[in-house]
Structure 1
Amino acid sequence: MVTAAASSSPSKPTINPPPPTLDEDTIDDLLYFCRTGELSDLKETISGLSKSLNRYSLEIPAAAVDPYSGNTCLHMAAANNHVEVVEYILSLEPPPLATPVVHPEVSSSNSTAALPTGITSDGTSITIPPPYLHTLLNFPNESGNTPLHWACLNGHIQAVKVLVKAGADPGVLNAAGHDCVYEAEVNDKSNVVEWVLNFAEGLESGVGVVGDEDGEKEQKDNSDVLRDEGSRHEEGKEEEEAEGAPSGIAIEKLDIADKEPTIR
């Protein structure tokens, strides 16, 4: 499992150009629609604000960040498995002059036509997203968790696939130093663990961030990160099976049928 020293204050990427300023009630409404899956209300609100503020449509959900938790619209939709909401947000038009500010290896063009792609073992095509969308896809909340962390730890496999296909980075670490596979595994979401590890085999490129001894940040290819993790995962399963123990991490089984999805 990929881990790093815990950070009390995860670094925040810069959204460029800066999104518009929304009032607290509007932010609450947008986050609520994404959390509850009210797609028609979300579409109507984003469309109205886009026109009244004269901003590109993707800039509206980009502006809806909870000031205390750092949760975004994608966090809310992914945590609650509202796949249609996730797909709608990902389909919105980004501003044309966005430039990469987090991962310099990503093209500065908003056109995805010539961007590199990868193919997962199940045939899923992965496209590196435009910089603006790339930032939103991998935006951490105050705990360092991205929308993909939340979808994984809740076992929402369809939301995971949509996010990864759009370019969400499985190698991003949260404040505890955990990647999304770790969060899925400790929450007993084996279907998510297996899919993401299989995805790694077809991943052409991507960036995971690992802290070194000096506290510096270095880039590491996602395929290496996740392939290494996959090897350890398989070795652990073989050792447990040889000992007659059930595969996977032993955790207490909880009845979560009527509980809210885990969000942090």
Structure 2
Amino acid sequence: MAKETTGEEETSPAVAADTATMVSLDIPSALSQDEWDDLVASIRQGSEYTLEDCQLELLEAARYDDIDVVKAILLVYPELIFFRDASHQNTALHMAAANGHTHIAQLLLHVYGNLATSTSNINVPNDSGNTPLHWAAMNGHTKVVNLLLQAPSASTTTTPTQPIVDVLQKNAFGRSALTEGFTSQNSDTVEALLAHESASEERLMQTSSNANNGKYNAEGTNATESSSVTHDFIFRVPSSESLNSAKTVIKVRELAMARTEDDTILCNSSGEDNTMNPEHDTTGLGVWAASLVTASWMAQQQRLEPQLFASKVVLELGAGCGVPGLVLAAAASHTAGTPLGDEEPYPAQIEGTLANGQMLTRPSKIYLTDFNGTTIDNMQYNLELNSFSKQRSDADWIESRHMNWQDPTTWPDERIDCLIGSDLIYQREMVPLLAQTIRGLLTKPN
């Protein structure tokens, strides 16, 4: 029921008294002073706007970037900052974030920051589990994403080191704001999300049973232990004058990196540094964020500049799960006119061709290399998962390979034309060896 209000109605105790200060940001107004005064008076007196009207108007104004209406309503009813619509449980911040209205989002966050209960509401999910950050990231609104990521904690409810938002918080479809950011294809948005403290490498690499979220392991049964997670990764290439919009899709399995409860990613239970002992280094069993960024670039290069890798020998150092190399192979396989079988294989495919009808070319060879035996086995599994099997003569141009940087006899015989890699070293001491390996691979005799 709509409720008529008057200026004498009491303000909620949770709401700060100085509401004028809350909405006093220096944001341009489209109204004259008289028009502004009339708008505030009509809301305060209830002559034109009931409380229910104000609830709906606030969301609509946030959606359509009407900063004056948002300011006026919050000046009179600051508690409406917490209002959620009945149909989808969206807040005004959801609306502003989805549409990239930076000034609206800035104002709403300013009001949140002045209310004692702010931190539990900034990242509130709607009925689909989407937070304002999800929607801002999904649409590539980097300025709003940065505002949400930088929102200060309220001292009454959190410590200064506790973030308000979580870029890895999943919606009802199992997608995080970081995932949505990658889908947006806005590199600035992705960079902002990856730089946030809630996107730490330790959290990104968790492969416990709680992280499976309904995914299935290699045997096709639900993974109840911290054994494996299989992902579908979609890499979209923006359309241009010469290309149709395209997407490359691959499947990738990652495995748990810690072997015991006392192990960590970089150190085993005996205190040994795993990254300095490649036999024990299991970092390649996980999909690292940097490899996704690299893979996105590989997909784009193969589509927009196919000659870069045409007829080249490409080697990925420290390939781990093999994401960048797999994406390059998947993007090149169909467009090179070399089908992988009688039926269209899923998911190693790319949609769209050059405007002139010519098919793209592919590398002559792709090596996915690493050292740890389990990592190599998982890498080969991922090749076969994407229709690149050792038993197929038409897929012999991509190969998983054991390679020791310190032992050139384990290196491919031919000279390498292109080297790719991401997150290859964690210790300063490894830099000379990496440099030596790069020089050796790119300058092999003959």
TM-score per shorter chain, which class? 0.5 to 0.7
Shift of 1:181: 1.6
Shift of 1:133: 2.1
The letter for the 2-side match of 1:185 is F
What is the rounded CA distance, in whole Å, between the counterparts of 1:32 and 1:23 in structure 2?
A: 14
The 1:83/1:213 distance shift into structure 2, 3 A limit, reads: closer
The letter for the 2-side match of 1:43 is K
The 1:190/1:87 distance shift into structure 2, 3 A limit, reads: same
Instruction: Report the equivalent of 2:110.
Output: 91
What is the rounded CA distance, in whole Å, between the counterparts of 2:65 and 2:209 in structure 1?
A: 36
For the pair shown, the structure with the greater C-alpha radius of gyration is: 2
Instruction: Report the equivalent of 1:141.
Output: 126
SS in structure 1 at match of 2:196: helix
Q: Does 1:60 align with 2:80?
A: yes
Shift of 1:205: 11
The 1:77/1:205 distance shift into structure 2, 3 A limit, reads: farther
The 1:211/1:157 distance shift into structure 2, 3 A limit, reads: farther
The alignment's TM-score, normalised by the length of structure 1, stands at: 0.55
Off by >4 Å, runs of 4+ in structure 1: 200-206, 249-252
Q: Does 1:212 align with 2:240?
A: no
SS in structure 2 at match of 1:243: helix
Shift of 1:134: 2.0
What is the rounded CA distance, in whole Å, between the counterparts of 2:212 and 2:104 in structure 1?
A: 41
Any unmatched runs of 5+ in structure 2?
A: 1-12, 16-49, 152-163, 214-264, 266-285, 297-323, 333-348, 353-446
Instruction: Report the equivalent of 1:74.
Output: 93
Shift of 1:94: 3.8
What is the rounded CA distance, in whole Å, between the counterparts of 2:350 and 2:130 in structure 1?
A: 23
Contact 1:149 1:183 in 2 (8 A): yes
What percent identity do the matched residue pairs reach? 28
1:60-209 aligned within 5 A:
60-62=80-82, 64-92=83-111, 94-96=114-116, 132-166=117-151, 167-200=164-197
What is the rounded CA distance, in whole Å, between the counterparts of 1:148 and 1:250 in structure 2?
A: 30
Contact 1:153 1:189 in 2 (8 A): no
Q: Does 1:24 align with 2:110?
A: no
Shift of 1:47: 0.8
Any unmatched runs of 5+ in structure 1?
A: 1-16, 50-56, 97-131, 216-223, 253-264
Instruction: Report the equivalent of 1:218.
Output: none
The 1:169/1:214 distance shift into structure 2, 3 A limit, reads: closer
Q: Does 1:38 align with 2:66?
A: yes
By relative contact order (CA 8 Å, sep 6+), the higher-ranking structure is 1
Contact 1:186 1:251 in 2 (8 A): no
1:40-68 alpha-carbon deviations (Å, 9 max, x no partner): 1111111122xxxxxxx3x2211x21111
What is the rounded CA distance, in whole Å, between the counterparts of 2:288 and 2:59 in structure 1?
A: 34
Q: Does 1:230 align with 2:215?
A: no
Contact 2:167 2:198 in 1 (8 A): no
Contact 2:14 2:115 in 1 (8 A): no
The letter for the 1-side match of 2:110 is S
The 1:214/1:157 distance shift into structure 2, 3 A limit, reads: closer
* Structural RMSD (CA): 3.9
What is the rounded CA distance, in whole Å, between the counterparts of 1:240 and 1:204 in structure 2?
A: 22
